[in-house]
A and B are shown apart, each in its own frame.
Chain A
């Protein structure tokens, strides 16, 4: 994959990337949706994150560093978030739209899984600190996960090293195993 994000076809061989994508520039899409979200207001943006993107309140709250009850108050108009948080909510809306434009099937899901095998850090942990360009480069396969973490998280290899793998066991439930060991 070379050239700009506006490539009409994205073929990366990754499970989460669709074969064909609309010719939308993801950065423009980010800016357009972010701007729209700021105009629409917090309640609409939060509903959009839940209804359109399938994000959980828990994940949204964690990205913003607030509690789920606080989100509920904002959504119901019982309290107003500060300007920083309004911008952060609009940022998430814009980012998910841009990820979709890059070809990510479920952007909210992409935020919740590990960036690299060796660490349990997820994109959700990086939303507040990483640049939009870096995140989009990463999900488009133009930036390795290690590079994304090197740029944004000091000492991630030591501080956030994954000891276990999760997998689906024979009974259909998720299970843990030490890295490098066999399925039960």
Chain B
């Protein structure tokens, strides 16, 4: 690219492999842990029991979809469709074009492949998306891949992943600590939606005190102090370090 708008860049838009994309997926007896906070890129089954599942992906920016540490009352979702059977050409298809789709390889851990369509957007009441209906949650890298593709789809601007990570750093830290707090508060076998929400409310109290949420946004001098306080709070309250 010559920097004056006349160049050409043949580098493909990166598409994460499924092993990098999913933090957790339903299937093979596994469920998505309820202790994982709502995150951009989460996929939900909204019409369970139908012959073909009706799937939606949360796609609002992770800041705007949250009200404190809870999910906002109304959120936007993308429709997720079954695209077909997986093939070796899928990656080429997504790397070299079809930028309005977010690839979801092996979403249901079968041979079918799915994608989220950025042209099919709905606004829904977040109460229709209970965590128990979540079938997939993305890794940090997967969430950044969604953002990358969304920005590219809307603007044709390709932002390198490390730069996206930099701007999301405070939010990713907040989410990471939220999950740790819930995991320490609620034993996996006793996890219910209500118990997790209560744990998250306690985490919100921690985060809202002493300007911690604001300090977390300062990676140079704020974040490390908040993490120390978080670790101390976990040790004191739960007798264990997070993570």
User: Which chain A residues have a beta carbon within 8 Å of chain B's beta carbons?
Assistant: 15-16, 47, 50-58, 68, 71-72, 75, 105-110, 112-114, 120, 160, 162-164, 166, 168, 172-176
Contact = CB atoms under 8 A, between A and B. Distances in A.
A109 to B, nearest CB: 5
- B160, B231, B243 — which one has the most chain A CB atoms within 10 A of its CB? B243
Contact of A108 (B163, B168, B218, B224): B224
Where chain B touches its partner, the secondary structure class is helix
16 contacts: A15-B220, A15-B221, A47-B241, A54-B226, A56-B227, A75-B241, A105-B221, A106-B225, A108-B227, A109-B220, A112-B223, A120-B162, A160-B162, A164-B167, A168-B217, A174-B167
Contact of B160 (A109, A120, A172): A120
A55 B224 contact: yes
A57 B173 CA distance: 10
Given A58-B176, A120-B163, A173-B63, A113 B219 contact: yes
Contacts of B166: 114, 120, 166
Interface residues of B, number: 33
B222 interface: yes
Given A109-B220, A113-B219, A174-B170, A50 B163 contact: no
A173 B63 CA distance: 8
A56 B180 CA distance: 12
Nearest to A58: B176
Contacts of A175: 167
Given A16-B221, A50-B241, A120-B166, A55 B227 contact: yes
A174 B217 contact: yes
Contacts of B204: none
B227 A50 contact: yes
Contacts of B224: 53-55, 106-109
Contact of A166 (B167, B226, B231, B243): B167
Nearest to A162: B163
A163 B160 CA distance: 8
Contacts of B235: 51
A109 B159 contact: no
Interface string B165-186: 0111111110010000000000
Interface of B: 63, 140, 159-160, 162-163, 166-173, 176, 214, 217-228, 231-232, 235, 241, 243
Given A54-B225, A56-B176, A174-B170, A163 B159 contact: yes
B216 to A, nearest CB: 10
Nearest to A108: B224
A105 B220 CA distance: 9
Contacts of A164: 159, 163, 167
B223 A51 contact: no
A51 B228 contact: yes
A86 B207 CA distance: 33
A157 to B, nearest CB: 13
Contacts of B223: 54, 56, 108-109, 112
Contacts of B169: 112, 174
Nearest to B151: A176
Given A109-B223, A163-B160, 18 more contacts: A50-B227, A51-B232, A54-B225, A54-B226, A54-B227, A56-B227, A58-B176, A68-B243, A71-B243, A106-B221, A109-B221, A114-B166, A164-B163, A166-B166, A168-B217, A173-B217, A174-B167, A176-B159
